Each structure stands twice: as C-alpha cells, then as structure tokens.
Amino acid sequence: MKAEERIAQLEAENAALREQVSQLQARLAELEGRVAKDSHNSSKPPSSDGLARKRYPRRHPSEKRSGGQPGHPGQTLKMVQEPDRIVKHRPQQCTHCHQSLERVTGEVVERRQVYDLPPMRLVVSEHQIEQVTCVHCQQVSRASFPIEVSAPAQYGAGVRALAVYLQQYQLVPSERTCEALGDLCGCEISEGTLACWAAEAAERLEQTVEKIAEWVSASQVQHADETGVRLAGKLRLPACQQYALSHPPGLACQARLPGSGGHWHLAALSWTGDARSLGQL
C-alpha cells in the first residue's frame, strides 16, 4: 500500500472515530441529564424519585439582608376598638409631693394592646337529669341526656375536633397528637381513642363524600398520580386523585395510603388558596 493510500485510510478511520466519539458524548450527556432529573426539577412524578433521599447542596448566603425587603408590603397587628378586657395602670401617689391619688379622677393618655391566648384548660360541664312529678296526675316525667352525652365522663366535641384536625390535616403523628393534647389541654388520651375519633369523623363525612362524588362526575379535569411519601422511613406510593371543581370553585384531592385499610383521605382546596381537610375516609 502506498503512503498516500495509507494516509487516506487513516484519515477516514479518524473521521469515523471522531463521529462515533461525538455521538457517544451526546448520548452520555443525555443519560446524565436524565439521571439528574427528578420530581423537583422536571415534570417527572415523585414516584420516580426512587428509595434514596437526594441530598441537596446548602444554599449559598445571599447578599440581601434577612427579613422583609424594601417595597415588601409588611403586616403588623392593629389595635381594635373594643378589646376583650381592659387593664388600667394608674399612679398610686403624686411623684412630686407623694400625696395619695387614690380618689382623684384620672384620664387615659396612652393605650397599648397585647394579643395573647387565654389559659388553656378543660372546662367540665356536668349534665344533670331531672324528674318532675305532676301536681295534677302524679305522673313522674324524666328528661333525657343529649345524644352526644353518652358516657358518665367523656371528652366533648371541641377536644375531638382538635385531635382529628391535628392528626388528619396537620399530619401530626398519633403519638405526638396525644402528647400535644396532654401538654396544651391536659387531655390524657390514647392512640386507640384518637383512631376511634378519626373513624367517627369519617362516618360523619359520608354525605360530604357523596357531594364531592357529584362534583367529580361533573368535572372536566381529572388527574391521577402515585405520589411518593415516606412512612416509617420507607417510601410508599399512595394512589392520589385530583379533580377540578366548578362549584364550589376549587380542587378536590383524595389519597389512599398503602396499609391504611383502604381508607381515603379527602381534602378540598379553593382557588383562593384556602385548604381544609375533610378527614380520613
């Protein structure tokens, strides 16, 4: 083979190899980009993130100062015209001659208001049944307890509603929900009692569920997804469905967690951003 032919052959092979390297680099870039994508930086569903929790780099410090930025519409407490209670502070004696000012009329020169919570404690209401003897026929008539008062001692609707709200909507674990109620209100309840209250709330939501089913049947938009959530350190894939509602305007979302006994958790979200949980179903 002549030198010119050999050079031409090598140049052709070199061009072919360069083309192959270019294709492989493009393929590698595509695969690396595909691996780097997850539900946070692409349209991929959370269920595709896998079992490993991705570690994100810490945010770099910003040059902006912390807090509200210039031009941001700040929010502050405003004084009300009719406060719930008034605490008067007046001098007991004259700062000059030290004479008593107890019977001297004063005037309010400055006001300040404090927003605070009242002491959180349980209020025990005792329901008493009376019987009355008729003065005409001597018939003894006896009253009855309200239907919600079914035990000698029980927690009322307010405590139950707060417990279900914390567990179902705020997603506080059962053990911590019981602990929070004990710390804040002095309620000593068990996780089993909390589960019963959630089940009772679900029963009361049956009519609400039927109404949402009517809205869903009339909805023009429906979305289904298996959104990944972590329970006890493990990735679970609950079935999740969302619907666009025309009346009332907003979204309805229901999700069923694996191992939840087939219960659906239902929530509604209005277009104004107000969210309310409808409970575990």
Whether the predicted pLDDT of 3 surpasses 90: no
Give residue 238's pLDDT band: very low, low, confident or very high (50, 70, 90): low
pLDDT at site 230: 66
pLDDT top residue among 226 and 217: 217
Q: Does 55 map to a domain?
A: no
pLDDT at site 221: 66
Q: Quick one: which of 201, 191, 196 has its CA closest to 165?
A: 201
Residue at a domain's end among 177, 203, 229: 203
pLDDT top residue among 156 and 35: 156
Whether the predicted pLDDT of 86 surpasses 90: yes
- One domain for residues 133 and 196: yes
Sheet holding 249-256, edge to edge: 222-226, 239-246, 249-256, 264-270, 275-280
Give residue 218's pLDDT band: very low, low, confident or very high (50, 70, 90): confident
126-154 pLDDT, tens digit each: 999 999 999 999 999 999 999 999 999 99
Q: Mean pLDDT in the chain? A: 79
Q: Does 155 map to a domain?
A: yes
Where is average pLDDT lowest: 14-18, 196-200, 216-220? 216-220
- One domain for residues 195 and 217: no
- One domain for residues 233 and 255: yes
Residue at a domain's end among 175, 203, 231: 203
- One domain for residues 158 and 217: no
pLDDT top residue among 115 and 2: 115
- One domain for residues 225 and 170: no
- One domain for residues 269 and 241: yes
Where is average pLDDT lowest: 66-70, 73-77, 95-99? 66-70
- One domain for residues 198 and 213: no
- One domain for residues 214 and 182: no
CA distance 12 to 21: 14
Domains contained in the chain, number: 2
Q: Does 109 map to a domain?
A: no
Q: Does 173 map to a domain?
A: yes
- One domain for residues 270 and 216: yes
The neighbouring-strand residues paired with 235 are 230
Q: Does 47 map to a domain?
A: no
Give residue 5's pLDDT band: very low, low, confident or very high (50, 70, 90): confident
pLDDT at site 264: 44
Q: Does 153 map to a domain?
A: yes
pLDDT at site 59: 73
**Percent of the chain, pLDDT > 90?**
43
How far does Cα 156 stand from its chain's mean position? 23
Give residue 272's pLDDT band: very low, low, confident or very high (50, 70, 90): very low
Q: Does 250 map to a domain?
A: yes
- One domain for residues 214 and 199: no
Give residue 31's pLDDT band: very low, low, confident or very high (50, 70, 90): confident
How many C-beta atoms surround the C-beta of residue 101 within 10 A?
Answer: 14
Q: On the CB side of 168, how many CA atoms lie within 13 Å of its CA? A: 31
CA distance 193 to 186: 15
Determine the structural domain holding residue 271 and report its residue range: 205-281
pLDDT top residue among 239 and 80: 80
- One domain for residues 220 and 187: no
Give Cα separations from 40 to 31, 36, 54, 56, 58 (angstroms): 18, 10, 10, 11, 16
Whether the predicted pLDDT of 273 surpasses 50: no
Q: Does 30 map to a domain?
A: no
Residue at a domain's end among 149, 175, 203: 203
